[in-house]
Amino acid sequence: MKIREIEVKDVMTKSNLPVSDYSVNPYTGCAFACKYCYASFMKRFTNHPEPWGEFVDVKYWPEIKDPQKYAGKEAFFGSVTDPYQPLEEKYERTRTLLKQLQGSGVKISIATKSDLVLRDLDLIRSFPGARVSWSINTLDEGFKAQMDRGASIRRRLDAMKKFYDAGVLTTLFISPIFPGISDPIEIIEAAKDRCNLVWLENLNLRGEYKPVILNWIRENHPELTDLYRDIYTKKDRSYWFDLHEKLKEYTAREGMPYLRDDDSRYSAFGEKPVVVNYFFHEEVKRSAKGKGNSIEV
């Protein structure tokens, strides 16, 4: 692992993401080395020769003099790195920024595959409306270990429970869903007593990691080769429509709200988690009846 300490002008970057006003990435690169990580495109801009997952730049920025300027805005921690990857235990760059923003009125959301975030539980819950999400796309620790170096699934679920019990809004991010491997319903069942929100996102293969994943499937799950060819070469969407219908039936049976990706009603949380489908946000949408331009959920 190549580690560099670098100085940056600012760590609060204006965001084009619909979920936040600012993207916050206290590190460049990520030691969790997810095989499917979309953020690997960052190498085009950073000129790191090392493979993705084998380098991390630790960022230092000038102290924020006027944190109140972010009042009423939302900052998303972890759009292209994990803010609680192992180096955070030593360098505390995420914790430092949280302390600088504490009391400012900014709303924060954090995405991670780690339970190191538990260290900052008291600090995070001092931010009104704070939300923390954990990415979990399997309950199989063996498959997880082949895909990423994050904390075990059990540790992620345990951390989610502690935040949930402490009154912090928690999100189960089932992403990416691997066709024929990930079982979203099984994962929701394991986490439904510890999350307010469930996001579902399909495996979207593009860029450098597309051949990596397809080769892995051929070597480890040859029985799925035809399915992956249909989805990622022939652009057949039937797998996702079928899964959408199964999830629609499951959530109705369990009394869980099930919404499409552009529905804002999930801002109000109830006793059961709200499930939001993001299967189709990358493509031109079409309704379940074959009319219109959105999935009817």
Domain boundaries, the chain: 1-110, 130-204+237-297
- The phi and psi torsions of 121 (rounded to 5 degrees) equal -55, -50
| Cβ density class 84-102: b for 16+ within 10 Å, e for less | bbbbbeebebbbbbbebbe
State the pairing for strand pair 27-28/258-260: unpaired
User: What crossing angle do the helices spanning 238-254 and 184-191 adopt, rounded to 10°?
Assistant: 30
Contacts of 21 (CB under 8 A, 6+ apart): 14, 15, 73, 74, 75
d(CA 137, CA 191): 12
Q: How does residue 97 score in pLDDT terms, banded at 50, 70 and 90? A: very high
Mean pLDDT estimate for the chain: 90
Segment 236-277, tens digit of pLDDT: 999 999 999 999 999 999 999 998 765 545 555 778 999 999
pLDDT for residue 63 is more than 70:
yes
Contacts of 150 (CB under 8 A, 6+ apart): 32, 34, 82, 113, 114, 135, 144, 156
pLDDT for residue 285 is more than 70:
no
Residue 11 CA: distances (Å) to CA of 29, 52, 84, 94, 241? 14, 21, 16, 10, 39
116: part of which helix (H) or strand (E)? none
Question: Which DSSP letter does residue 98 get?
Answer: H
Segment 216-236, tens digit of pLDDT: 999 999 999 999 999 999 999
Q: What is the pLDDT of residue 71?
A: 97
User: What's the gap between Cα 153 and its chain centre?
Assistant: 14
pLDDT for residue 69 is more than 70:
yes
Express as a percent the part of the chain with pLDDT over 90.
Answer: 77
| Cβ–Cβ < 8 Å for 279, 288 | no
Contacts of 139 (CB under 8 A, 6+ apart): 153, 183, 186, 187, 190
pLDDT for residue 297 is more than 60:
no
The CA angle 238-240-245, to the nearest 5 degrees, is 95
pLDDT for residue 186 is more than 70:
yes
